[in-house]
Each structure stands twice: as structure tokens, then as C-alpha cells.
Structure 1
Amino acid sequence: MIVWSGRGFLSLLILFITIFLFIPILPENYITQSFVIPLYIAAVFSFFFGIKWNKTLRVFIDKETGKEINFKSNHGLFWINMEYWGIIFSVLALLMLTQSLDKQGTEFYLNLFLIIIGIAFLVYFTTTLFKIKNSKISSFQFQKTTTEAEPKPSFVKQEISTNKFENEDPTQYLPK
């Protein structure tokens, strides 16, 4: 069972789509890379869109009480926010690559190149997350909304004021 919140399922969807695209493209002797490259693509997607979608904070103002209600976006997969899936996918790709370092020739150099890319992703992802977590609330995008932001059409007001059930006895609908 796959558990997600918001748009978190897109991380897994991007991973599967890119895997099914890269397996037929790369030759059979590059089977490790046909899983590693999609993991990197899913990691970049999950990280950047997770940060973009999860930093939105909506502030609603209740007209009756005047209180502010804060709603923070939550987009995650298996109870983990999307931006952290970028780190998880990068680590999985690095683990796959380190297991295939015993190859010879161009495949060894390709694996080494992909390991360097993975380490660069991890360094960038973690430093960016630390900067975001250590910054104050100014990193959020505020959207102030009220409960009655748009004026209601005139026919709605008439419908509410001419409710046919206002003068009826409600006990007539109870069982006897």
C-alpha cells in the first residue's frame, strides 16, 4: 500500500516513468545505470518541487472572530516530506553504484562519474535544507485570505433570505 499526502505520489510516479524510459534506451551491460539515472532524476524532482510545494503557508482570517488560522502545505510519501525523498533517492543510487564499482573499463569510469554527481547532489540538498530550516519564517510564502473574500451574487442572498423552511414547525418531521 502506498501512502501519500498532497502531491507526494508524484515522486514515485516520476521514478517509475523514468525507469521504464531508461531500461530500453541503455544497453544490457549498463543495467545499474538504467536504475541510477532515474533515481537521480526523481531525486532532483522530489527535492525542488518538495521545497516549492511544502513551503507555502496559507493564513485565513475568520471574519466572525478575527483570528488568523495558519495552514501549512504537506506533500509527502510514506509520511516523509518530498524534499527528503530527494536525499533518500540519491543515497539509494549511491548504494547501487558502490556495489558495482568492481567493473572494468568505461563502465567503471561512468560509475565513478555518477558517484561524484550523487555526492554533489547530497551536499547541495543537505546544505539547502539546513539553510531553509535555520532561516526564520520569512522563507514561507504567505497568502492571506478571508472567509468572505468574494462578494456573493445577489441571487444567493435572496435565496438565503427566502428560505421556505423558516416558518415551518420542525417537529412535524419527527417520528410519532
Structure 2
Amino acid sequence: MATSHQVQKSVKAIEDKMVIWRGSGVLVLVLAVVGLLVSQGLAWALLGDPLPSSYIPARDMIGIWLGAGFLFVTNLALERSNKPRTVIDKETGKELVLKEKHDFFFVPMKYWPYLLLLLGVIAYFKK
């Protein structure tokens, strides 16, 4: 069990971080963590606890890939439900197409599944 001092150190470390998103872009982080938690749970259920250290890189890669899959499906659903809206500017008379954007750290959400796949491979080969 964590002591009060350890918890305070963890909270302090988190306070110094900043996450930037627009729209539903925060789901990138949420779904990546969900993928990691699912792979952790499956690894414990199938291989026992503690997990052999040689399996940890594969578990992490699979978890990040699961998160990428969850994110890909979520992004498809968001894109289908996000119909563009056309409005006319009264001053200029020009048509404007409005569509909600979903970004995480200024990168559109639709690119993040591919970045997570790459990150999973990097996590696997990291020593």
C-alpha cells in the first residue's frame, strides 16, 4: 500500500504535466490507457502475477495496439456522426462549412491510431 508521502509525490508529478486537446481528442489518452489496462488484465489472467519480465514488452505493445484499435473505431463513429454544417456569412455572402475537430496535442484524432501502432512497436523494441 502506498504511503501518504508516495501519493503526494505522485500527485506533484502529475501537476506539472499539461494535456492539450480539442473536441473529443482527449479520448486518445483515455483509450490508450484502457488498452494498456486490458492487456495488463489479460496478461495477469492468462500468465499469472507477477508477469515474467520477458513478456512485459509484448504486453505493452499489445495494449497500445488495443488502444489504437479502440481509437480507430471511436474515430469512425465520431466522423460518421459529425455531419458538416453549411452556413452563409451575412457580411460577405460566402458559404462556410463548419465541422467539429478532434485533436490531441494539435494532431488530428484520425492520425493517432497509426501513431499508436508505431509507438507500440517502439515500446516493444525499447531496451
Please classify the TM superposition score into its range, dividing by the shorter chain length. 0.5 to 0.7
1:22 aligned residue: 39
TM-score (norm 2): 0.62
Q: Which amino acid aligns with 2:121?
A: L
Supply the RMSD in Å over aligned alpha carbons. 2.8
Give secondary structure in 2 for the equivalent of 1:16.
helix
Q: 1:57 is matched by which residue type in structure 2?
A: P
Cα separation, partners in 2 of 1:46 and 1:56, compared to 1, 3 Å:
farther
The number of aligned residues is: 100
Q: Which has the higher contact order (CA 8 A, sep 6+)?
A: 2
Q: CA deviation at 1:95?
A: 1.6
Percent of aligned pairs sharing the same letter? 28
Residue type at the aligned position of 1:40: W
CA-CA distance at 1:59 after TM superposition: 1.1
How far did residue 25 of structure 1 move? Answer: 2.8
Aligned pairs (5 A) from 1:27-38: 27=47, 28-29=51-52, 30-38=55-63
Structure with higher Rg: it is: 1
* Unmatched tracts of structure 2, length 5 or more: 1-17
Q: Which structure 1 segments of 5+ residues have no match?
A: 101-176
What is the identity, as a one-letter code, of the residue corresponding to 2:115?
I
Is residue 49 of structure 2 the alignment partner of residue 49 of structure 1? no
Alpha-carbon deviation of 1:91? 0.5
Asked if 1:71 corresponds to 2:88, the answer is: no
Tell me the TM-score normalised to structure 1 length.
0.47
- SS state of the match for residue 61, structure 2? helix
Q: Secondary structure at the match of 1:2?
A: coil
